[in-house]
Amino acid sequence: MCLCFFRGKGYSIEFVRNMWDIKDKLERGPLIQITDKADDICAICPNNAGGTCTAQAKVAEYDRQVMQRCGLAVGDEMSYRDFDELVRQRIILPSKRKEICANCQWDSMCEKIRA
Ligand code: SF4
């Protein structure tokens, strides 16, 4: 969901660079697998403490909400394009994002972006 709103801001220069790389790769439409653990984005995040997010409880709830609203479960595989479309149709277009992550530190920035 965050990728829809990513415009080059993030937790560190390395984090932002990694986000651009991942965004580039995903736009080519690879197969992805749903996980509720630290993922390829978390890999270069300063909040990743040995594979666990320092805000794990908050992030786990965001993940749970996105999976539930998209009808997905951990381990599901699909093309990134299908996943992106699901997130847009079920969360972003009906303006449900704030119901999930209004308490995120980046909320005010995402609020200004038309994803
Ligand atoms: S979930 Fe935590 S570790 Fe992963 S990108 Fe977000 S803040 Fe970083």
Reduced to 3 states (helix: H, G, I; strand: E, B; else coil), residue 83 is helix
Q: Best mutation site among 42, 62, 66, 103 for ligand 1, i.e. most ligand atoms within 8 A of its Cβ?
A: 42
Nearest CA to ligand 1 atom 6: 42
Q: Is the pLDDT of residue 115 over 90?
A: no
* Cβ of residue 41 lying under 6 Å from some atom of ligand 1: yes
pLDDT band with cut points at 50, 70 and 90 for residue 4:
very high
User: Whole-angstrom distance between the N-terminal and C-terminal Cα of the chain?
Assistant: 10
Domain that holds residue 76: 2-111
Task: Give the tens place of pLDDT for each residue, 37-81.
Answer: 999 999 999 999 999 999 999 999 999 999 999 999 999 999 999
Contacts of 18 (CB under 8 A, 6+ apart): 40, 41, 43, 44
Give the CA-trace dihedral at 52, 58, 78, 5, to 10 degrees: -110
* Domain count for the chain: 1
Q: What is the pTM of this model?
A: 0.91
